[in-house]
Amino acid sequence: MQLIDEVHQRIVEAANILREVVHKTPLDKSRTFSSWTGGEVYLKLENLQKTGSFKVRGAYYKITKLISKGRVNKVVAVSAGNHAQGVAWAAARAGIESIIFMPEFAPAAKISATRGYGAKVVLYGKSIEDSYSRAIELASQKDVEFIHPFNDLDVIAGQGTIGIEILQQLPDVDVVVVPIGGGGLISGIAVAMKKQKPSIKVVGVEAEGAASMYKSIERGRIVKIRKTDTIADGIAIKSPGEYTFQLVKNLVDDIVLVNDFEISEAMFKLLERAKVVAEPAGAVAVAALLSGKVDVKGKKVVAVVSGGNVDASLLATILEKSLISEGRIVRIVVELPDKPGTLKKVLGIIAEARANILDVAIDRVSPQIKPGKAMVLITAEVQDPDYIDEVIISLKRLGYTLNIL
């Protein structure tokens, strides 16, 4: 296929150009994930790349190609996240100006980071579509070039250098699992790896709430979904590109879907067991492995952790929810007589079960609470989820009504 050959030639060139510019990110074997999945699991840590994601690869290669043709003094892009930072960094590194259009709802941290890499940030419109139309209008001017986040052969080729690195680091890899948004990352990796080792199985992972590539492949044509609904905003794309659709259709062996609960669990396990900070989009490949949606028993598998730019408040929420779901943080609602010493007795019982009390909230005035009673919400951290059974038995023995949330 001519398109595949063309992209492969550009990947080889991109690898030479990027060698002294971007990090060759680590390929880290996870013994924990290997034991859980029955395979030999390696993490390709693009969260440790410059700007915290793989996006600088495609952006820098695209910009150098434009400069070599004498066609650009300024680049423009649209993004609410990693592509914005990648283009900003790459343009500054290449010595040209960048303008990044972001929707008005873009997170303040990402706006600040993009400006910090040297870009002029323009907030425009309520959605990415609004920002996109304004950016295209600007790009129609002389000496201004638009950098598409995925549907561009140079951008795809830049991302494909990850595939070359993986084969250098683990030549006998059997399976590579890659996030899919617009498809630029998996397209480049699939070309790079299949050209060198056709037996490699390439599996893509999308969020259930943004499955535009999955639906497009399923129907045999590019599909635009009405809306996206996922915490993985980095891959929340309504429609794949023409190039990426063709490359995925011809090279990718399978696409699986993961839900937000599975993504959150993967983020938690990456942080706790692998000491890796991943954004939701960056964790979907690991989510696919841990949920069993990709069978890797007896195989050497690489999961691409594509980025680590996660909002701190979201990460904190995910960690707390994960601890609760595992029974390591419990919330006990108990109705008590509103008398001195009662709460102290209850807290003492909880402490005897080796629980660390994190928070206590008391409600005496809600209409559903009986006069002379108080509803108490106790949040506690336990060493072992089984310990909470001791608390339940002890409190019920004293005649208290309680629920575990």
What domains can be seen in the chain, in order of their start residue?
A: 2-54+153-319 (3.40.50.1100), 56-146 (3.40.50.1100), 327-404 (3.30.70.260)
Sign of the four-CA dihedral 76, 81, 83, 84: positive
Residues near 324 by beta carbon (within 8 Å), at least 6 away in sequence: 330, 331
Residue 131 is among the residues annotated as catalytic for this protein: no
Q: What is the pLDDT of residue 26?
A: 98
Would the CA dihedral through 117, 120, 124, 129 be positive or negative?
Answer: negative
For 53, 74, 213, 239, 295, the CA distances from 207, given in Å and listed in that order, are 18, 34, 10, 13, 18
What pLDDT does residue 131 have?
A: 83
* Contact in structure between 279 and 49 (CB atoms under 8 Å): no
**Percent of the chain, pLDDT > 70?**
100
Residue 57 pLDDT level (bands cut at 50, 70, 90): very high
pLDDT confidence tier of residue 326, bands split at 50, 70 and 90: confident
Select which of 44, 50, 55, 65 is catalytic.
55
What is the model's pLDDT at position 42?
Answer: 98
3-class SS at 122?
strand
Q: What is the mean pLDDT of residues 280-293?
A: 97
| Sheet containing 373-382, strands listed edge to edge, beginning at the edge strand earlier in sequence | 355-363, 373-382, 329-337, 401-404
Q: Average of pLDDT values for 242-250?
A: 98
Give the residue with greater pLDDT, 131 vs 25: 25
CB 53 within 8 A of CB 47: yes
8-12, 52-56, 120-124, 392-396: lowest mean pLDDT where? Answer: 392-396
Check residue 386 and give its pLDDT.
Answer: 77
pLDDT at 304: 98
Annotated catalytic residue 344: no
Half-sphere exposure of 345 (CA within 13 A, CB side): 14
From 187, 216, 306, 322, active-site residue: 306
Average pLDDT on 351-359 reads 86
157-172 CB burial, b ≥16 within 10 A, e <16: bbbbbbbbbbbebbee
- 395 pLDDT higher than 90: no
Residue 137 has a pLDDT of 86
Residue 22: pLDDT over 80: yes
Orientation angle between helical segments 153-169 and 242-251, nearest 10 degrees:
30
Parallel/antiparallel/unpaired status of strands 300-305 and 175-179? parallel
Confidence check: pLDDT of 231 > 90? yes
* Residues 6+ away with beta carbon under 8 Å from 192: 8, 11, 160, 161, 162, 163, 164, 167
Residue pair 148/84 in contact by the 8 Å Cβ criterion: no
Output the pLDDT for position 144: 85
**β-pair type (329-337, 373-382):** antiparallel
Q: Is 275 left (phi over 0), alpha (psi -120 to 50) or beta?
A: left
Confidence at 324, pLDDT banded by 50, 70, 90: confident
Q: Is 306 helix (H, G, I), strand (E, B) or coil?
A: coil
pLDDT of residue 88: 96
Q: Which of 384, 324, 380 is nearest to 349 (CA)?
A: 380
